[in-house]
Chains A and B, each alone.
Chain A
Amino acid sequence: MKFVQICDQVEANAGEVDRTALIGTWINSNLDTTSIARVKISDANGRLQLQVFAIGPDGLIDWGTSDAQIFAGGPSSRTGVGFTCRYDFGFAEARLQAMIMKGLLVLAQFHLFKDDSGRADYFLREYFALSHDRF
């Protein structure tokens, strides 16, 4: 088994990573965000799918759906605790990297501009809570 860090030398049996903990609608904890307001994560025929709604000048902007890559907590774990995903808007690309920490979804965003607007590529990191109807 090849590795470049000893933690990757593990016994493992191929199997699907459980995506249960990620499924649902995650709401930004920052009421004043100028970025993503909520993320809807669903299981689409065995694929992890995202739908992002971001804050626009005149209301929410639906980014549409995109497939995400799921990540477990370790190389021998089968519990999904994070994902990566890309949105290509033509003028810019948004790369998302997320992980569940202490019950919150920590979402890092990388915005890479492809147009000639002169805007700098930038990074954002915000916290999201899973919406529920228990209390």
Chain B
Amino acid sequence: MLQAPFKQRSHLNPELSAAGANLEKLLGRWLNTNRETRGIAECTVAKDGDQIKVSIVGVGDDGLMAWPTVTAHALANLEEEAGQRTGALMATFEFDFMRVDTHMRINKGVFVIVLFVMFLDDSGRSNYLNREFFYRG
């Protein structure tokens, strides 16, 4: 039998053949634990048929700012520390002036969003990363 191609031993983990992303715990509305945040106020993860949709609401100058809803890429989680097996999501939000690559996961019951923000305009702002934490709303 031919061995599947690999670039690291975990590519050959037999559990990958049976792995589902196990995303149930990620679904729902999540509110930022920091009420003073100047970033993301809340995030909603929802099933839409076979797809997972993610909606984010940012904190604006004088109110909340809804980001466009995007489809997330679901990933299984086989080996994270402390035996956590809830899957992770990867999603990209694109605006005309910036692009935000994110990943989202649950860590000890807290929903974590890690953002990698890239500015496409000439504002002089640095591309930057940020992490925010959310509780179930």
Contact = CB atoms under 8 A, between A and B. Distances in A.
Nearest to A30: B81
Given A34-B8, A121-B74, A82 B129 contact: yes
Given A17-B126, A91-B5, A92-B5, A84 B121 contact: no
Interface string A68-103: 011111111110011010010111101101010000
Given A7-B39, A8-B125, A17-B127, A121 B76 contact: yes
A6 B128 contact: no
Contact of A56 (B6, B37, B95, B118): B6
B127 A124 contact: no
Interface extent on B, as a size class?
35 or more
Contacts of B108: none
Interface of A: 1-10, 12-15, 17, 34-36, 54-57, 61, 63, 69-78, 81-82, 84, 87, 89-92, 94-95, 97, 99, 108, 110-112, 115, 117-125
Given A6-B59, A75-B117, A97-B103, 18 more contacts: A2-B97, A4-B98, A6-B38, A7-B37, A14-B122, A17-B126, A34-B8, A54-B8, A54-B9, A55-B9, A89-B5, A90-B5, A94-B7, A111-B11, A115-B4, A121-B21, A121-B73, A123-B103
